[in-house]
Chains A and B, each alone.
Chain A
Amino acid sequence: MAEITVTRRTPGMVLLRGDLSSDALREAASAVAGAPMPERRQASLSGDTGILWMSPDEALILLPEGRAAEAARALSQRLEGVHHLALDLSDARAVFEIEGPWLREVLAKLSPADLHPEALPLLEVRRTRLAQVPAAFWIEAEGRARLICFRSVADYVEGLLRRSVEDGPVGLFA
């Protein structure tokens, strides 16, 4: 059976709330994240940094570890006078990297989301439920996904993912 790996990562994460259609906010976010503001539900990535669309007034900026506090300050400086919230959330969230050929099935067994490639194309962020807790995931390339959950439930989520891997593929879709 082809291997799936689950790895816990600790990137920097900055929550940005405000009017995502505002030019000032889009420019500030892009400058800090090094990637354009994504369209609805999309992930806009440049390597390990980028911006995730989380809701009509919420974006999550991914950064290298240790860079979030500085980025949140830079955002607030750029957005002086523009209604917004920029907050370093790195310690509030946990990130997992899932790699392997049938990772769509690893997630499909745990979530009500439709993981079929047509329903969840690459780089679409799906916020959903993983067993009993909220999570967001996106597939970056076939065979590589990232998943974000609250740090307080990270051990639970890691257990879920590992168990789903141990149980093997279902064969519904590769």
Chain B
Amino acid sequence: MLILTCPYCGVAADETELSPGGEAHLHRAGPGSEDASVEAYLYHRSNPKGVHFERWRHAYGCGKWFHSARDTATNDVFGTYPAQVTETPQNILEAIAQRRPGWERPQ
């Protein structure tokens, strides 16, 4: 069972209290972009076995969107953080580095 702590209300929410929102930190390809980058923005998603960054909504709770970093193979949670960021916060990256030495964000 996956349990994520919502950074807004602080509730340790069970997976069934949350709505999944897919991969986090996508960059929108706006008007005038190349077809290939619009396609990538709309459809290309990473699907790693291991460290992954996701969006979740605390649907059966405070209703807010937040981000999580977890291991998709073990459900080890490295941390959760507010959605009002464009990059993963340093403390989350440090938690990952500590528990997954040598991990690098795929390009």
Chain A contacts to B: CB under 8 angstroms: 40-41, 54-56, 58, 112-114, 126-129, 134
Q: Is B10 an interface residue (CB 8 A)?
A: yes
B5, chain A: closest CB distance, angstroms: 12
Residue pairs across A and B with CB atoms within 8 Å: the count is: 40
Give Cα distance in the complex from A58 to B61, angstroms. Answer: 12
Complex interface: chain B residues within 8 A of A56 (CB):
8-9, 62, 64
Contact B9 A41 (CB under 8 A): yes
A84, chain B: closest CB distance, angstroms: 17
For window 22-42 of chain B, which residues contact chain A by CB distance below 8 Å?
Answer: none
Q: Is B63 an interface residue (CB 8 A)?
A: yes
Query: By DSSP majority rule, is chain A's interface helix, strand, loop, or mixed?
Result: strand
Whether A128 contacts B61 in the complex (CB less than 8 A), given A112-B14, A112-B16, A112-B17, comes out as yes
Contact A55 B16 (CB under 8 A): no
Q: Which of A40, A112, A114 contacts B9 (CB 8 A)?
A: A40
Give Cα distance in the complex from A126 to B59, angstroms. Answer: 13
Whether A127 contacts B11 in the complex (CB less than 8 A), given A112-B16, A112-B17, comes out as yes
Contact B10 A127 (CB under 8 A): no
A sample of 13 cross-chain residue pairs with beta-carbon separation below 8 angstroms, ordered by A number, consists of A40-B10, A55-B8, A55-B61, A55-B63, A56-B8, A56-B62, A56-B64, A114-B12, A127-B11, A128-B13, A128-B61, A129-B16, A129-B60
Contact A129 B9 (CB under 8 A): no
Interface size on B, residues (CB 8 A): 15
Give Cα distance in the complex from A47 to B76, angstroms. Answer: 43
A93, chain B: closest CB distance, angstroms: 15
Complex interface: chain B residues within 8 A of A41 (CB):
9-11
- Give 9 nearest A-B pairs by CB, closest first: A55-B62, A112-B14, A129-B60, A127-B61, A134-B60, A56-B8, A129-B17, A112-B16, A128-B60
A131, chain B: closest CB distance, angstroms: 10
Complex interface: chain A residues within 8 A of B14 (CB):
112-113
Give Cα distance in the complex from A41 to B61, angstroms. Answer: 11
Complex interface: chain A residues within 8 A of B8 (CB):
55-56
With most chain A CB atoms within 10 A of its CB, the pick from B10, B14, B60, B63 is B60
Chain A minimum-CB-distance residue to B1: A112
A116, chain B: closest CB distance, angstroms: 12
- Known contacts A41-B9, A127-B62, then 14 further A-B pairs from the complex at CB < 8 Å, ordered by chain A residue: A54-B62, A55-B61, A55-B64, A56-B62, A56-B64, A58-B62, A112-B13, A112-B17, A127-B9, A127-B11, A127-B60, A129-B60, A134-B59, A134-B60
